[in-house]
Chain A
Amino acid sequence: MATTVTNISDTKTEQPMPQGAKLYGLIAEFETPGDLMAAAEKCRDAGYKYWDCHTPFPVHGLDGAMGLKRTWLPWFVFGAGATGTTVAFLLQAFTNSWDLHIWAGVWVTGYPFLISGKPAMSLPAFIPVMFELTILFSALACVKLMFLFNGLPQLYHPLFKSNRFRRASNDRFFIAIEARDPKFLPKATEQFLRTLDPVAVEAVED
């Protein structure tokens, strides 16, 4: 693949942006993870805030190159797991050990469930279900919160308008700088992206 830098105005002729359309941002395309990483470090150092890298697979070390902070996700998952353990214990104690009449959506009654002369509070026998619900709650929270924190599902996104961007899920690496970034200036940012030596730079409308 030739490494010609597509002029931004050339790109516009490929995909004309209607007059007066709002600019979402600029994307720059790179061929290899190494090129992207070097470019990402420069973007980070240039002080951009609303920008991102888009890659077909997680690139090792890119989090550092972008200056991303570690996610809080594991702590939430831990909380969900602890909730699972507690819920499982209370469920089993309520239905098999305690004598209670409580309201849980409907009125329900728990009672000591006497079987084979085993003690009403047979904690060792409750452990397998406590373990399973710990895992179940953690896993559900883990996946749900991961997508939630990522703002997904979000079926529409301005980036999907770019035909070029489709290769972000295939074999190309992109940097996108959003127009809402306080440091964003159409001409200057374009110039900046060019200095990173990408394969192409393209404007994406909002």
Chain B
Amino acid sequence: MTTLSHDSNVGRITDNTVDRPGERAPLVLNMNTFGEVTATVCRVNEAGKAPFAWYVAFAAALGLLSVLGACITYLIFTGVGVWGLNNPVMWAYDITNFVFWVGIGHAGTLISAILFLFRQKWRTGINRFAEAMTIFAVICAGTFPGIHVGRVWFAYWLFPIPNQMEMWPQFRSPLLWDVFAVSTYFTVSLLFWYTGMVPDLATLRDRAKGKVQQLAYGMFALGWRGSNRHWHRYERAYLLLAALSTPLVLSVHSVVSFDFATSQLPGWHTTIFPPYFVAGAIFSGFAMVVTLAVPAREMFGLKDLITLRHLDNMNKVILVTGCMVGYAYSMEFFIAWYSGAMYEKFAFINRAFGQYWWAYWIMVSCNVITPQLFWFKKIRTSIPIMFVLSLFVNVGMWFERFVIIVTSLANDFLPSSWDKFTPTWVDIGTMVGAFGLFFTLFLLFCRFLPMIAMAEVKAVMPQADPHGAGAGKHGHH
């Protein structure tokens, strides 16, 4: 293993995962000036052509997106009967997908808000596209409650809009809390993402050669000119947004878990759900960040900004949250036994050995066993292995939601009302198609918007310190 070179000018550093006492590992490799950071990040947006792989990926994403469009159109024109839902399994792929995507959406805000409050400077390399990922994931998530209501043209009934029928939403229902939680989460994430991007859009504006680029970036940069009087308020606002988003991100998946936890269904009616859902959301979200970061840094030449250390750190977060998820799985079983409630006990034995036993064991292998491999540094720092493991986590977390929702509904209290859910092609098409929506938006983002928060990365470089490496010829004492 290469060791960290003391003089960054000697040779290329490729491994910054080595910790030396009394020395901070560099967050930006092989770059000594701010200009190099700008050039590396802007090159992606300024290139006349995207990498070939981008076009291939974009075509595939558009293909999947049209599958989603076709499935939703068919659903709207025909009715929810085109899904495999039955009585008692009235929620299945729709809500599984909803919870899956909301969960994915948690990593972005966690990285941008919680790691910001904890002064984790490495977040600057990955926060921008993790936030973008959050927004696109929440868009995917929002689609499902919208289309699962049956008569989608009445979806506006979710909101307290004055109407002739004098009909109001029922505010004592967690489903309505969810409407407010998810829409607030989307709005605040969008604000956070955009606010953070304004200085970088100004950079792109100032470098733009074409009229269209100048106009487009110029409009969205709002006339930002790096004034320190502006930065002063900007930094305050950013800190406040981080402080506001931190409880928000914890509340959103808690509220999502209330959809289940406040019902009386065995397997849903558990108090562990809010923290368990939040841990699972962070777990799946970080896995998705790794899934996206690994190819993105290769494709766009960002390896010196999204370094191995960043990936190593993310894998550590996956390991920690994976342990929490594993703990929650076992605690659910313990409480089911300890409660002495017959239906509770049955619900959990049925989960592991009932008609959906295979889904349960896919979930356990992907979510409990897979992350344990990240105890080994060799694995945490191996690009191909972490990519494959992150895919496993994504799959496992989808199955977690499927297991919670479908096994609990399919076999509830009375055996006479039990049934089995089998997905139809529309169910599967909608699930797969949602990835098309997600990747289409993500690839467009990579091409046209600054993928890395340049201003923030520059601010954590040693050269940015007016008392240290950035002191200059006169310096500041």
Binding site for B on A (CB under 8 A): 3, 30-38, 41, 52-63, 65-66, 68, 71, 73-74, 77, 91-92, 95-96, 104-106, 108-111, 113, 115-116, 118, 122, 125-126, 128-129, 131-133, 135-136, 138-140, 142-143, 145-147, 149-150, 152-157, 159-160, 165-171, 174, 197
Contact = CB atoms under 8 A, between A and B. Distances in A.
Interface residues of B, number: 74
B176 interface: yes
Given A74-B236, A126-B171, A30 B181 contact: no
Nearest to B33: A171
B172 A54 contact: no
Interface in B433-475: 454-456, 458-459, 463-467, 470-475
A147 B235 CA distance: 12
B38 A170 contact: yes
B234 interface: yes
B240 to A, nearest CB: 5
Nearest to A36: B466
29 contacts: A32-B472, A34-B476, A35-B473, A35-B474, A35-B475, A38-B472, A56-B455, A56-B458, A57-B459, A58-B231, A66-B229, A95-B168, A106-B162, A110-B168, A118-B172, A132-B255, A135-B184, A139-B241, A139-B244, A143-B194, A143-B195, A145-B237, A146-B237, A150-B230, A152-B223, A153-B223, A154-B223, A168-B225, A171-B34
Contacts, number: 244
B166 A108 contact: yes
B207 interface: yes
Given A169-B206, A170-B38, A113 B170 contact: yes
Interface in B139-190: 160, 162, 166, 168-172, 174, 176-177, 180-181, 184, 187-188
A33 B470 contact: yes
Interface string B222-252: 1111111111111111001100110110010
Interface string B408-428: 000000000000000000000
Contact of B191 (A62, A104, A140): A140
Interface string B348-390: 0000000000000000000000000000000000000000000
Q: Which 3 A-B pairs have the closest CB atoms?
A: A32-B472, A34-B471, A171-B34
Contacts of A133: 180, 184
A133 B160 CA distance: 13
B171 to A, nearest CB: 4
Given A53-B227, A73-B237, A132 B181 contact: yes
Contacts of B222: 147, 152-155
B340 interface: no
A135 B475 CA distance: 42
Contact of B224 (A32, A62, A152): A152
A17 B239 CA distance: 41
A66 B466 CA distance: 14
B388 to A, nearest CB: 36
Considering residues B169, B222, B247, B464, which has the most beta carbons from chain A within 10 angstroms of its beta carbon? B464
B166 A109 contact: yes
A116 to B, nearest CB: 8
Contacts of B171: 92, 95-96, 113, 125-126, 129
A19 to B, nearest CB: 27
Contacts of B174: 128
B251 A132 contact: yes
A109 B181 CA distance: 25
B219 interface: yes
Given A60-B465, A169-B203, A32 B236 contact: no
Given A52-B227, A55-B226, A57-B464, A115 B170 contact: yes
Considering residues B176, B203, B232, B458, which has the most beta carbons from chain A within 10 angstroms of its beta carbon? B232
A146 B475 contact: no
A31 B469 CA distance: 12
B396 interface: no
B318 to A, nearest CB: 27
Considering residues B172, B187, B458, which has the most beta carbons from chain A within 10 angstroms of its beta carbon? B172
Given A52-B228, A129-B177, A57 B456 contact: yes
Nearest to A136: B184
Nearest to B262: A125
B202 interface: yes
Nearest to B247: A135
A63 B184 contact: no
A136 B218 contact: no
A142 B225 contact: no
Considering residues B168, B258, B466, B474, which has the most beta carbons from chain A within 10 angstroms of its beta carbon? B466
